[in-house]
Amino acid sequence: MHVEFLGVSRERAGVAELHVEADTLGRLVAALAAQTPGLAELIVVDRLHPSLAANLNGDRFISDPATPLGDDDRVLILSADVGG
């Protein structure tokens, strides 16, 4: 699936988007830790640091590592605190 980075996650990843093979959120996050070293400090095994949030297709926010993902899904990684 496609991963979109917004804000700090984009700065740390160094790219705006990535294509990653993973069938659950936990596997996706673990893959991101391996593929994008800049994000590693914001990932604990298969979970995002609480300062980050994951959203599926711009619709619902997801946090359970077991959340299934499909090939056509887009996962957005953004700051959990979006206020200002």
Partner 1 sequence: MPFGYHGRYLRIDVSRPSTSLAAALSKVEGRGSVERVPLEETVLRQFIGGSGLGVRLLLDEGTASLDPLDPRAPLIFAFSPLVGSPLTTSAKFAVVSKSPLTDRINDSLASSGFAIAGKSCGCDAFVIVGRAPELSVLIIEDGDVRVEPAAECAGMTCEETGAHYRSRLGVDFRIATIGPAGENGVRYATISHDGRHAGRGGSGAVMGAKNIKAIAVRGTQRPEWADRREVIAISKDLSHRSFGPATAKYRELGTATNLLTFNRFGALPTRNFQSGEFDQAGNLSVEQLTATRSKTRGSCATCTIGCEHIYSVGDGSVRLEYESLFALGSLCGVGDADVVLRAVQRCDELGLDTISTGGTIAFAMECVERGWLEAPWLTFGSGDALLRAIDLIGWREGLGDLLAEGSRRSAVAIGHNSIAIAPQVKGLEIPGYEPRALQTMALGFAVGARGADHNRSGAYEVDFSDKVDRRNVTLEAVRHAIDTEDRAALMDSLILCKFLRGVLEDFHGETAAMLRSVTGWDVTAAELRDTAARIVAAKQEFNRLAGWTPAEDTLPERFLDTPLPNDRSASLSRARLDALVAEYHRQRGW
Residues that bind partner 1 (CB under 8 A): 4, 6-8, 11, 41-42, 49-53, 55, 58, 60-63, 76, 78-84
> Cβ closer to partner 1: 21 or 63?
63
- With vertex at residue 67, the alpha carbon angle to CA 53 and CA 71, rounded to the nearest 5 degrees, is 95
Closest to partner 1 by CB, 21 vs 79, is 79
Q: How far is the CB of 79 from partner 1 (least distance, A)?
A: 5
Q: How many residues does the chain have?
A: 84
Which amino acid is present at 78?
L
Query: Least Å distance between CB 78 and partner 1?
Result: 5
- Report d(CA 57, CA 33) in Å as an integer: 21
Nearest residue to 69 (alpha-carbon basis) of 13, 2, 16: 2
Smallest separation, CB 59 to partner 1 (Å): 8
